[in-house]
Amino acid sequence: MYEIKAVGARQIFDSRGNPTVECVIKTGFGRFKASVPSGASTGTREAVELRDGGKEFNGLGVSRAVQNVNEILSVVVKGRDCRRQKEIDSLLVKEDGTPNKSKLGANALLSVSLAAAKAGAAAENMELYDYISELSSRNPLMPVPALNIINGGKHAGNSLDFQEYQVLPVGFKSFKEAFSAGVEVFHQLKKNLEKNYGRSAINVGDEGGFAPQLRKVEEPIDEILKAVESVGYAKEMVIGLDVAASSFFMGGKYLIEKKSLGIVSMLEEYETLLKYYPIASIEDPFAESDYHAWEEIVKKLGKRVQILADDLTVSQEALVAEAIRRNRANALLLKVNQVGTLTEALESAALAHNSNWNVQVSHRSGETNGTFIADLAVGIGCGQIKSGAPCRGERLAKYNRLLEIEESSGALFAGRKAFKPK
């Protein structure tokens, strides 16, 4: 009755118009679909996205990954009980057999893994977030949205070195209130940017945030705080940054604002920012292999601010374990496609939670309209999600799903304490 009857995949296209994988699992009680996102500022140790190469779609086709689902993984999971997520995922991992999923592709594996979870939830007659909450033995919690309202780095055609400037609406009673207030800030920011910098300043980047032609690291923060103040939320909102420092780390130095900075100067930069601005979270403050720098920032600032590891740990348990042991961060960014199966992502999150790290569930800059991560964030009760700005359908799909979940679940809103380092 709960068995997987058929598995099929196809090539669809993500929010950047690049090919990606969509998988459909058929059971006796319905069809369950999941698709895979894709990053631009990727960590070098992420599980491998299998791409075709060649001329078509600039080499980004996924017909080989699709074929691997249709011809190999479908055979592996067919006939299995869709409620056995762990078993399904371990079969997928075993079939690939490589440490980084380079044989069949993490994109192929993940599409099957996520579709299976949806089938499993339906089999149990549960909402996906409740099902994930059971899988992870955590209570559902509504996350604070990290709204990336000014885009830079690899996500925009401007000169900002830092990749993401987020407003974090922490001081509210519900996700609905927090998100709505974030939307108001977004629109106020739009008005201000247009007035001060002209119409081109309100063009948006890959994650729906504005991409004004600003240069200095702190200018976007000033603009966001001005908008926050004028809509009256100065006490309720704080700032989050994704520096994505690997993307401007060259020859052992950080190239920002045309200056070449070492670790000590970068640390000073962060200390100054914390002194003048209400910053609650800094993601990837240093490059993925600049371990000593991560250790230094945790020593210096780790009690005051969330130091969020993305490229450093790429959602993989072994790397998370190492970062915990060496005290290189105090929070984990969780992206399912960096690791390739739901079970492995849940294990990384569990390790982080058990080690008193915070966890933030994250989209990728290339997204589909899938909403899996909204349920994931609620289900693992981590209290934080980033899904870009409140702009562009693939970003809103997740936030709108969270509005729906809040209504039906009655889960509490994480609020301010979500970002506090433990």
Applying CB under 6 A, the residues found at the interface with ligand 2PG are 39-42, 207, 242, 244, 310, 362, 364-365
How far is residue 361's CA from residue 378's CA, in Å, rounded to a whole number?
Answer: 9
143 binds, among ligand 2PG, Mg ion, none (CB under 5 to 8 A by kind): none
| Shortest separation between residue 198's beta carbon and Mg ion, angstroms | 29
- Residue 42 binds what, of ligand 2PG, Mg ion, none (CB under 5 to 8 Å, by partner type)? ligand 2PG
Q: Whole-angstrom Cα distance, residue 53 to residue 260?
A: 35
Which spans in 53-209 are helix H? Answer: 63-68, 74-77, 85-96, 106-123, 128-136, 175-197
Q: Which is nearer to Mg ion, 161 or 310 (CB)?
A: 310
State the residue number with the nearest CB to Mg ion. 310
Q: Which two tokens stand for residue 217?
A: 């690291």
Quote the least distance from Cβ 26 to ligand 2PG, whole Å. 30
Q: Does 206 sit near Mg ion (CB under 5 A)?
A: no
Q: Which contiguous run of DSSP H or E holds residue 13?
A: strand 6-13
- Hey, what are 315's tokens? 């959602």
| Residue 52 is a binding residue for Mg ion (CB under 5 A) | no
Closest CA to 174 of 422, 421, 415: 415
Region of 198 on the Ramachandran plot (φ > 0 left; ψ -120 to 50 alpha; else beta): left
Q: How far is the CB of 399 from ligand 2PG (least distance, A)?
A: 14
- Residue closer to Mg ion, measured from CB, 242 or 375: 242
The verdict on 242 binding Mg ion (CB under 5 A) reads: yes
Closest to ligand 2PG by CB, 89 or 207: 207
Instruction: Supply the minimum distance, in Å, between the C-beta of residue 241 and Mg ion.
Output: 10
Residue pair 331/309 in contact (Cβ under 8 Å)? The answer is: yes
In whole angstroms, how close is the CB of 144 to ligand 2PG at the nearest point? Answer: 16
* By the rule CB under 5 A, 310 interacts with Mg ion: yes
Q: Least distance to ligand 2PG from the beta carbon of 285, Å?
A: 13
Nearer to ligand 2PG, 39 or 140 (CB): 39
Contact call for residue 269 and Mg ion (CB under 5 A): no
Tokens of 179: 């998100």
Residue 317 near Mg ion by CB under 5 A = no
The footprint of Mg ion on this chain (CB under 5 A) covers a number of residues equal to 2
Please choose which of ligand 2PG, Mg ion, none residue 365 contacts, taking the beta carbon within 5 to 8 angstroms, the exact cut-off set by kind: ligand 2PG
116 binds, among ligand 2PG, Mg ion, none (CB under 5 to 8 A by kind): none
**Token pair listed for 91:** 């079969």
**Residues assigned a catalytic role:** 207, 335
Q: What is the DSSP string of 361-419?
A: EE--SB--S--HHHHHHHHTT-SEEE---S-SHHHHHHHHHHHHHHHHH-PPB-GGGGG
What contacts 240, CB < 8 A, 6 or more positions away? Answer: 146, 164, 165, 166, 167, 168, 279, 280, 281, 282, 283, 386, 419
**Chain centroid, CA 411 distance in Å:** 21
Please identify, among the stretches 226-234, 235-243, 246-254, 364-372, the one whose residues bind Mg ion according to the rule CB under 5 A: 235-243
- For residue 256, the one-letter residue type is I
Q: Name which of ligand 2PG, Mg ion, none residue 362 binds, using a CB cut-off of 5 to 8 Å depending on partner kind.
A: ligand 2PG
CA-based R_g, the chain, Å: 21
Residue 207 binds to Mg ion (criterion: CB under 5 A): no
Binding region for Mg ion (CB under 5 A): 242, 310
